[in-house]
Structure 1
Amino acid sequence: MILESAVLYVKEGLAEDFEHSFRQASKIISGMKGYIHHELQKCMEQDNKYILLVRWETLEDHTIGFRESAEYQEWKSLLHHYYDPFPVVEHYVEIDLN
């Protein structure tokens, strides 16, 4: 399992619209192969800052399965115009602490 992480900076004055669009986009991503769970958190200190965390079964489920899909084009049209700057997406693997 991998964790996708992206810090999202939403353009000033568009937070409410972004959150509405993200609710729509959530339906898209949650139906993708390899999708496990996602959450969107809003920063308490900075009104236009969010963090998106998505759990995928494999890296390829995100980078190929989702990003190369028709569904991603819909996701992109719903969300990408809100970001400034465009987010850096990173992937993490859990460290076994036992």
Structure 2
Amino acid sequence: MLEVAQLDIRPGQCDAFEAAFKRAQAIISSMPGYLSHQLQKCIEKDHRYLLLVQWETLEDHTEGFRQSPRYQEWKALLHHFYEPFPDVEHYQLMREQSTG
């Protein structure tokens, strides 16, 4: 399952956000059900990032991570950088259909 968050960072805060994210990624990567993550920076809008996190299940993210004490650490490190607060969506890989 893929978690997708578009992160718009307050003006002038990108360097501080990136430094904080380097610390915060150790939190998320230690969580049960975590598989991998990527943080990508937008080329056209230098204040926008895309966070992609692979989880084993939706509940690993929504319950396991978000309801954990470690989420409070994540929140303290990162949430004050966002403007507006990001929408987070979850995606699942579609199975290929056979054509025969």
Report TM bin, short chain.
over 0.9
User: Deviation at 1:84?
Assistant: 0.2
SS at match of 2:35: strand
After superposition, the CA RMSD in angstroms is 0.5
How far, CA to CA, are the matches of 2:3 and 2:10 in structure 1?
Answer: 22
How far, CA to CA, are the matches of 1:43 and 1:16 in structure 2?
Answer: 14
Partner of 1:33: 32
**1:33-72 equivalence runs, <5 A:** 33-72=32-71
User: Deviation at 1:97?
Assistant: 1.5
Partner of 1:3: 2
How far, CA to CA, are the matches of 2:67 and 2:95 in structure 1?
Answer: 31
How far, CA to CA, are the matches of 1:84 and 1:31 in structure 2?
Answer: 27
SS at match of 2:89: strand
Residues 37-70 of structure 1 deviation map (CA, whole Å, 9 limit, x = unaligned) = 0010000000100000000000000000000000
Structure number with larger C-alpha Rg:
2
Aligned residue pairs: how many? 97
How far, CA to CA, are the matches of 1:59 and 1:22 in structure 2?
Answer: 22
Which TM-score applies when normalising by structure 1?
A: 0.98
Which TM-score applies when normalising by structure 2?
A: 0.96
Partner of 1:73: 72
How far, CA to CA, are the matches of 1:34 and 1:68 in structure 2?
Answer: 14
How far, CA to CA, are the matches of 1:47 and 1:30 in structure 2?
Answer: 25
Structure 1 residues not aligned, in runs of 5+: none
| Same amino acid, percent of matched pairs | 57
Moved over 3 A (4+): none
SS at match of 1:87: coil
Partner of 1:21: 20
Match for 1:78: what amino acid?
L
